[in-house]
Every structure is written in structure tokens, then in C-alpha cells.
């Protein structure tokens, strides 16, 4: 549990209110550990050193809005980084490698946010679901097109680009279920090994038969 401010502080003072970043961080941690429905507003208030009533200063629509904000915060830089990779001048295979590394790096460094994304986004209220899904669709489309272009240039084996994208991202996303910072391999080791596994074995450059 992360305590972002002492509970003895006067939460009525603007200077003692938790920052947006701290607020989202605590919510992300609680949703990852206890689940969306397992986390109460009281849990959130206690972790933040607030009263339950004062939470509504930050979230007008209660937990549904908070889940949306947690998911959007986690997705924002993630999508931006892939857009930058897609727009960069580099050959298709290098671009795909960078996309793989980007996804791995994000999962390894944002385990709790990814856990919330994978397990709890199904609980989004309809008013938030379409907007969030549009960002997911954008990410999936960009990644699929990067895969497709690598196939077209014969930089990776031919196949169904969508299926390849699902296989790559599914493999990487599963890291949240087994990676431990106290484990035998550190983040850099895992990023390097899994990138090599995906790019040099699963998607090895096709050989030309003479």
C-alpha cells in the first residue's frame, strides 16, 4: 500500500491534497491488488489520507470514472510511443523490433497498470467504454500494420498480420503474471531475451532457397 500523505494533514487545504499522479497511482495499485469490485471508496480514501466524501473533489462520478482515468493514464504514453515508432524512418523489420521492445518495456515497468488493463477494463461503464476502446483499436491497428509491412517486405515470414499481432502481444502481456523484480532475471535481461525470442526465432528473417 502506498501512503501519499499523512492522515493527520488537513485535506481541506489545497496544498495538502494528493496530486493527480499520486491519486491515480494509489487507485492503480488497489485495483491491481484487490480488483475493481474488491476496492471500496473507503479503501481509496484511507490510502490517500482523505475522507470518503472528499474523494468527490477528485472524481465526480465515483469509481467508474476513476477506473476510466486509471486506464487512460496507463494507455496515453503507451500509444504515443507506438505512434512515434510508426512514424519514424526505419526499415520494416527494425520498426517491428522497436514496437516489440516498446510493448515489453511498458509491461515490465508498469505491471500494476497492465494488470488493471487486462483484468478490470471489462468493468468500464458504457459512457467510458467506447472512448477507451477507440484507443485500444488505434494501438492494435498500428501494431498490425507494422507487422503487415514487415511481411510485405519479406522481412518476417508470411502469415495473418492480426494473428501475429495477437500472438506477440499475448505473449508479452502474460509477463505480468510471472515476472518478479526479485526473480533470477532483471528487466533488461527479460527484455533482451524475449525480443530475441520473438524477432530472431518466432519471426526469423525468411531464407531464400536458390
pLDDT one-digit tens code per residue, 55-98:
777 777 788 888 998 998 877 788 999 999 999 999 999 999 99
Distance, in Å, from the CA atom of 115 to the CA atom of 108, rounded to the nearest integer, reads 11
Shared domain for 191 and 169, answered yes or no, is yes
Domain containing 28 equals 14-58
Q: Are residues 173 and 78 in the same domain?
A: yes
Local structure of 81: helix, strand or coil: helix
pLDDT in tens, 139-190: 999 999 999 999 999 999 999 999 999 999 999 999 999 988 888 989 999 9
Q: Quote the pTM value.
A: 0.83
Query: CA angle at residue 12 from 7 to 18, to 5 degrees?
Result: 60
Do residues 70 and 76 lie in contact, with contact meaning Cβ atoms separated by under 8 Å? no
> Quick one: DSSP state of residue 121?
G
Residue 33 lies in a domain: yes
Q: What pLDDT shows up at residue 65? A: 87
| Domain count along the chain | 2
**Same-domain check for residues 108 and 191:** yes
Cβ neighbours, 10 Å, residue 160 = 13
Angstrom distances, CA of residue 89 to CA of 72, 149, 184, 205: 28, 13, 36, 20
41 and 141 in a single domain? The answer is: no
pLDDT digits (tens, 9 = 90+) for 10-63: 333 333 455 778 888 999 999 999 999 999 989 988 888 888 887 777 777 788
Q: What is the CATH number of the domain that holds 36?
A: 1.10.10.60
Specify the CATH number for the domain of residue 94.
1.10.357.10
| Shared domain check, 176 and 88 | yes
In this structure, are 75 and 155 located in the same domain? yes
Query: What is the number of residues in the chain?
Result: 210
Amino acid at each position: 500500500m502506498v501512503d501519499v500523505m499523512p492522515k493527520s494533514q488537513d485535506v481541506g487545504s489545497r496544498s495538502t491534497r494528493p496530486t493527480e499522479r499520486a491519486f491515480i497511482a494509489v487507485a492503480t495499485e488497489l485495483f491491481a491488488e484487490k480488483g475493481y469490485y474488491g476496492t471500496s471508496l473507503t479503501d481509496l480514501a484511507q490510502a490517500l489520507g482523505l475522507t470518503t466524501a472528499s474523494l468527490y473533489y477528485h472524481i465526480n462520478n465515483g469509481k467508474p470514472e476513476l477506473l476510466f482515468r486509471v486506464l487512460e493514464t496507463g494507455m496515453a504514453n503507451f500509444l504515443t510511443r507506438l505512434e512515434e515508432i510508426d512514424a519514424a524512418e526505419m526499415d520494416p523489420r527494425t520498426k517491428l523490433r522497436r514496437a516489440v521492445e516498446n510493448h515489453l518495456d511498458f509491461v515490465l515497468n508498469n505491471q500494476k497498470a497492465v494488470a488493471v488493463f487486462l483484468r478490470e477494463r471489462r468493468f468500464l461503464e458504457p459512457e467510458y467504454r467506447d472512448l477507451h476502446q477507440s484507443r485500444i483499436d488505434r494501438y492494435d491497428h498500428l501494431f498490425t500494420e507494422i507487422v503487415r509491412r514487415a511481411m510485405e517486405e519479406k522481412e518476417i515470414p508470411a502469415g495473418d498480420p492480426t494473428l501475429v499481432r495477437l500472438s506477440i502481444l499475448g505473449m508479452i502481456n502474460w509477463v505480468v503474471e510471472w515476472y518478479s523484480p526479485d526473480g533470477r532475471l532483471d528487466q533488461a535481461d527479460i527484455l533482451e531475451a524475449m525480443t530475441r525470442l520473438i524477432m530472431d526465432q518466432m519471426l526469423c528473417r525468411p531464407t531464400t532457397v536458390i
